């Protein structure tokens, strides 16, 4: 791995944070969606009234189609972390891109 000591301080901090986030397990592009739904069981109280079951789904577009996957309660925090890390990585990359855009504008090395 090459040294980052030659980089400007702000860029070095962003790259270091990016590495820190990428070294954690799990990364998923998507949005978390809370829903209320009926389970379909005829004897359940959701079939008789206004009560509906709560659920958490992760959604993303894939090849032009929206897809959703239910998140089991035991996996909720894990999936939240994966989605959050993806958002962080995108934010860091956007900040780096903006820095390089300014360099190009100013013709800096």
> Does a structural domain hold residue 4?
no
> Does a structural domain hold residue 102?
yes
Residue whose structure tokens are 């990585």 = 89
Structure confidence at residue 38 (pLDDT): 85
- Domain with 38, as residue range(s), is 9-106
Q: pTM here?
A: 0.78
> Does a structural domain hold residue 14?
yes
Total count of domains within the chain: 1
> Does a structural domain hold residue 21?
yes
Structure confidence at residue 45 (pLDDT): 85
CA dist 46 and 29 (Å) reads 32
Structure confidence at residue 86 (pLDDT): 97
Structure confidence at residue 42 (pLDDT): 85
Residue whose structure tokens are 């206004």 = 50
> Does a structural domain hold residue 34?
yes
Pick from 32, 16, 19: nearest CA to 82: 32
Structure confidence at residue 8 (pLDDT): 83
Average pLDDT by consecutive 10-residue portion of the chain (109 residues)? 73 93 95 89 84 92 94 95 97 94 84
Angle (CA) 15 16 22, round 5°: 85
CA dist 61 and 30 (Å) reads 8
> Does a structural domain hold residue 2?
no
CA dist 14 and 95 (Å) reads 8
Residue whose structure tokens are 């709560």 = 54
> Does a structural domain hold residue 3?
no
């Amino acid at each position: 791995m090459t040294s980052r000591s030659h980089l400007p301080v702000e860029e070095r901090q962003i790259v270091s944070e990016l590495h820190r986030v990428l070294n954690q397990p799990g990364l998923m592009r998507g949005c978390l969606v809370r829903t209320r739904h009926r389970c379909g069981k005829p004897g359940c109280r959701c079939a008789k009234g206004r009560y509906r079951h709560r659920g958490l789904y992760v959604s993303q577009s894939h090849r032009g189609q929206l897809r959703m996957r239910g998140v089991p309660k035991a996996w909720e925090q894990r999936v939240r972390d994966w989605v959050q890390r993806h958002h962080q990585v995108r934010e860091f990359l956007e900040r780096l891109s903006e820095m390089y855009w300014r360099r190009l504008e100013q013709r800096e090395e």
